[in-house]
Amino acid sequence: MQTVVIFGTVAIFLYPAIYPLMSQWFSPETFGIYIGSTVHEVAQVVAAGHAISPDAENAAVISKMLRVMMLAPFLILLAARVKQLSGANSGEKSKITIPWFAILFIVVAIFNSFHLLPQSVVNMLVTLDTFLLAMAMAALGLTTHVSALKKAWGETSADGTGTVCLADCWWWCD
26-63, pLDDT tens digit by residue?
999 999 999 999 898 888 999 999 999 999 999 999 99
Give me the pLDDT at residue 154, please.
65
Entry pTM = 0.60
Measured CA to CA, the distance from residue 152 to residue 37 in angstroms comes to 23
For residue 36, the one-letter residue type is: G
63-94, pLDDT tens digit by residue?
998 888 888 788 888 888 888 887 656 666 66
- Asked if residue 32 lies in contact with residue 63, where contact means CB atoms within 8 angstroms, the answer is yes
Looking at the chain, how many residues does it have? 174
141 three-class SS: helix
Residue range 146-167: mean pLDDT, rounded = 67
Number of Cβ within 10 Å of residue 84's Cβ equals 12
Task: List phi, psi (to 5°) of 148.
Answer: -70, -35
Measured CA to CA, the distance from residue 116 to residue 136 in angstroms comes to 28
Measured CA to CA, the distance from residue 140 to residue 40 in angstroms comes to 14
What angle in degrees, to the nearest 10, is found between the helix axes of 2-22 and 28-38? 160
Closest C-alpha among 10, 46, 6 to residue 140: 6
Half-sphere exposure of 57 (CA within 13 A, CB side): 11
